[in-house]
Structure 1
Amino acid sequence: MFGVPAAGSANSPLLRRSASKPVDLGSSEPGNSIQEGLFFSADVNEMKTGNSPMHSAVIMPSPLFLWRFKVLLFLIWGCSCCKISWDSVMRMSVDLRDLFLYEVFLYYNPLLLVTMMVWLWGVNLWVFTQSSVNYSKIFDLDNTYLTHREIWKCATWMTIVVPTSMTAYLYLYSHGEVSLAASQPVILYAAVLMILIFPFDIFYLSSRYYLMRTLWRIALPLQAITFADFFLADILTSMAKVFSDLERSVCRMVHRQVATIAWFEADSVCGSHSIAIPFVLVFPYMCRFFQCLRQYKDTKEKTCLLNALKYSTAVPVIFLSALKYHVFPDRWTNIYRPLWLLSSVLNSLYSFYWDVTRDWDLSVFSRIFKFKNPNLCSNILYGRQWVYYWAIISNLVLRCTWTYKLSAHLRHNYLTVFTITALEMLRRFQWVFFRVENEWNKMALKPSLQVSMSDMPKEEDRLLDSANHVV
């Protein structure tokens, strides 16, 4: 999803185009437009002058026409899915409708949120491409990393496949085909897993390999921690709810509870009171916690310990919330609930402070009011003060609401939970701009790593280099 380390590097950002697969110079995708121009300009000129024998037989559709045609097909597909889903839901009885929608939400909410995150990451890369932030150097990328266009292409297919499966599930269940309906999420999850681990050189093999390798490095931080490692780990903390729902979904599939009445029993092995939920929620925070300890071992910087303390404050929020289902109500009301509220406030404020002063390096908010030194300001935002006001205030609000998501006993309203999770994705999307640019500013200020604007890799130059390499 993010990028690729340079050739020979043991460290891995997130996604990478397959380096072993040669560039398809005849491809019609946007990233290969330069190659098309290099090799087919002569044929096009002949067709324009009428000297080509294909002049009378071939009509080249304009790219704008093809783009509009694809958008039209996408809109028709989206409207059809919405219409079929709405009609299917209306066929169900009112008593079971909400319960059934909660189950649908549980299975498809994680993949929908992942799709949203992929779209937003593509926007991040597009903005970095238009600005002076050289994200390829920050993540130590070579010329085979995925561009924002390729990220958006992956997101487009995800946007098509996931809602289509959800529509099929709603339609089949509402028409009495329960066994076929139950197979839809199972097939979707199996397909996603197969695409990730498919061992052949298709679907960006090296990208998938490095993504899985980076996830493994995050789960077991036994080696030196790179910027890409803790950058992805930070993003995964915002997806704790996604992992929790994935665990519950897979649990129900394994125990054959899909599309059965057992799925809404709170005390069942896969119910909302399951002891596995808090452990899955806390797992991304523990990975980041141990990364900080590893960084302290390598650098001896005390800020690493303070950062580890920040991630540890999420642990009481998660487990104190889960205690509501395992203690007497009066003990929860008098003892554990006040402790949960106190830990929630501490976690939210500590995380907010660290975002602004450490990750974004807006020390004591002084840069909101003083832009005398342009090197201290955001090159992406060009010192627009209202953007900093918005970023700081919205980050504080969303940091506090994120506590709602970490608390298992507040997760019964699935629409509210989905909204808050989506807002957390937007907060993380906003965080990425400041975090990556802050890292770029630090690199630019180091004499050994200073990079001029001429070193910024342009996408056209990268494609030309790839074409020359193939030739």
Structure 2
Amino acid sequence: MDGDPAVEPDLDSFSLTLPLPYRVALVVDVPSLLHYPARPSPRTDTPHHLSTYRLATLLSIPLTISFLLFWALSHRNPTLVIYYDFLPFSYLCFLLLIFLLPLRRFSSAGRTRFLTTLRRVSIGGIALPHDGKFGDILLADVLTSYAKIIAELFVALCMFFTPNGSATKRPDRGCGGQYLVPIIIAIPSLIRFRQCITEYLRYFSAFPVIILSALQRNLSVNHDKVGLSETAVYRFWVLAVFVNSFYSFYWDVAKDWDLTLFTAQRAHSGLRQRRYFPFKEMYYVAIGADLLLRCTWSLKLSPHLDHFADFESGIFLMEILEVGRRWMWIFFRVETEWVRNTSSAGLGAPGQDDVLLGDYGSGKEDDD
């Protein structure tokens, strides 16, 4: 599919090097989703960031070993790539066990708290402000960026457990039914929509994009039954994705980051009076990057790049860019929350051991 005639038509060269399960494992940055409670003794206990790096190292080392072993055994041979599909799944099983097993030395408190928070937000729940409401909001927002990765994980599992199937074959995004993958992609937006009805437009506007994308990508859909031609579906898709992207960009800048760029006065050069980051340019770069990454869909409007997102490598790059955008967004969102809280409390700058996501509980926690 990526234009390499030397490989089988059912397995493109990118998938020979980086099969779907490995893409899922590579993009899922689990430590960034963990929310830690305050340290009982900030001066003597391990800092939060070191605990996160420790868990990241634990997850990265076996992933690297699995990668190297897979490449050494498969030699990018299509038959061997399909045969050794159990290797990436072994790592995914390891990842699951790390989360579920009660291993105190590997961020036990953080993993437990993450799973507890995930259970709560998965049904649209949200904690009280003093119990970690901001952390719940962050997690739900992060899940919206991971929606496609979650769907890719389902596709890999579906292919792995399909009779005569293999998770390292060319991804079959119709596995399980024509609309099942779009429904899975919509679930994180539905969770966030349920969490905060007052922000309904931002998250509700994602649903038309998902539905129309499903209509576009599934060639077996009979558009006549819904009274729409392929051209009409495409035009509605452009309109829906335009509204979703630019409204989400507006919300990022004006609501999540509290910047004045879209106000009539544009006070403080379009930023705000209180800022934690030292350079104005950081905010402008973030605004520009957020706009560009919100509009990656515009590649489909180019006659030269319109099929870029149809390649497996293109799909993977789009997922990486969205996760990177969310990673950047979190820094400025947490900074905004700190400014809001300290502005009302009259506090000074945060120290290196301050917890910006709130104190999630009381009692003694372990060192990780």
Question: The TM-score by the shorter chain falls in which range?
Answer: 0.7 to 0.9
Per the alignment, residue 124 of structure 2 pairs with 221
TM-score for both structures, normalised by structure 1: 0.61
Asked whether the equivalents of residues 309 and 318 of structure 2 are also in contact (C-alpha less than 8 Å), the reply is: no
Q: Return the alpha-carbon distance in structure 1 between the equivalents of residues 193 and 20 of structure 2.
A: 28
Secondary structure, counterpart of 1:363 in structure 2: coil
Asked if residue 424 in structure 1 is aligned to residue 322 in structure 2, the reply is yes
Asked if residue 378 in structure 1 is aligned to residue 283 in structure 2, the reply is no
Asked whether the equivalents of residues 189 and 204 of structure 2 are also in contact (C-alpha less than 8 Å), the reply is: yes
Shift of 1:222: 3.9
Larger Rg: 1
Shift of 1:195: 1.2
Superposed, 1:221-240 pairs within 5 Å as 221-222=124-125, 224=127, 226-240=133-147
Q: What CA deviation, in whole Å up to 9, does each residue of 1:18-72 have, x standing for no partner? A: xxxxxxxxxxxxxxxxxxxxxxxxxxxxxxxxxxxxxxxxxxxxxxxxxxxxxxx
Q: Cα 1:145–1:368, aligned 2, differ >3 Å: closer, same or farther? A: farther
Per the alignment, residue 185 of structure 2 pairs with 281
Unaligned runs of 5+ in 1: 1-89, 126-135, 294-304, 460-468
Per the alignment, residue 294 of structure 2 pairs with 399
RMSD of aligned residue pairs (Cα, Å)? 3.6
From 304, 309, 328, give the equivalent of 2:201.
Answer: 309
Per the alignment, residue 344 of structure 1 pairs with 241
Letter aligned with residue 333 of structure 2: R
Letter aligned with residue 99 of structure 1: D
Of structures 1 and 2, the one scoring higher in RCO (CA 8 A, sep 6+) is: 2
Per the alignment, residue 390 of structure 1 pairs with 285
Q: What CA deviation, in whole Å up to 9, does each residue of 1:242-291 have, x standing for no partner? A: 10111101111222555489x44858635xx7421101111111110000
Q: Cα 1:360–1:173, aligned 2, differ >3 Å: closer, same or farther? A: same
Shift of 1:419: 1.8
Letter aligned with residue 95 of structure 1: E
Q: Return the alpha-carbon distance in structure 2 between the equivalents of residues 391 and 317 of structure 1.
A: 25
Q: Return the alpha-carbon distance in structure 1 between the equivalents of residues 261 and 171 of structure 2.
A: 49
TM-score for both structures, normalised by structure 2: 0.77
Deviates more, 1:428-437 or 1:145-154: 145-154
From 328, 336, 347, give the equivalent of 1:451.
Answer: 347
Number of positions where the alignment pairs a residue of Structure 1 with one of Structure 2: 329
Superposed, 1:236-385 pairs within 5 Å as 236-257=143-164, 259=166, 263-264=169-170, 266=172, 269-270=175-176, 274-293=178-197, 305=198, 307-324=199-216, 325=218, 326-328=220-222, 331-364=228-261, 366-367=266-267, 369=269, 376-380=273-277, 382=278, 384-385=279-280
Per the alignment, residue 163 of structure 1 pairs with 64
Q: Cα 1:203–1:153, aligned 2, differ >3 Å: closer, same or farther? A: closer
Q: Return the alpha-carbon distance in structure 2 between the equivalents of residues 392 and 370 of structure 1.
A: 11
Asked whether the equivalents of residues 220 and 287 of structure 1 are also in contact (C-alpha less than 8 Å), the reply is: yes
Superposed, 1:145-164 pairs within 5 Å as 147-164=48-65
Q: Return the alpha-carbon distance in structure 1 between the equivalents of residues 94 and 275 of structure 2.
A: 41
Q: What CA deviation, in whole Å up to 9, does each residue of 1:118-149 have, x standing for no partner? A: 4xx49xx9xxxxxxxxxx9xx86344786212
Identity of matched residues, %: 29
Q: Return the alpha-carbon distance in structure 2 between the equivalents of residues 184 and 229 of structure 1.
A: 34
Q: Cα 1:360–1:402, aligned 2, differ >3 Å: closer, same or farther? A: farther
Q: Return the alpha-carbon distance in structure 2 between the equivalents of residues 287 and 255 of structure 1.
A: 29
Q: Cα 1:245–1:368, aligned 2, differ >3 Å: closer, same or farther? A: farther
Q: Cα 1:146–1:238, aligned 2, differ >3 Å: closer, same or farther? A: farther
Q: Return the alpha-carbon distance in structure 1 between the equivalents of residues 291 and 194 of structure 2.
A: 25
Q: What CA deviation, in whole Å up to 9, does each residue of 1:162-185 have, x standing for no partner? A: 233233233333476678612212
Asked whether the equivalents of residues 289 and 311 of structure 1 are also in contact (C-alpha less than 8 Å), the reply is: yes
Q: Return the alpha-carbon distance in structure 1 between the equivalents of residues 351 and 81 of structure 2.
A: 58
Shift of 1:333: 2.1
Letter aligned with residue 141 of structure 2: D
Per the alignment, residue 7 of structure 2 pairs with 94
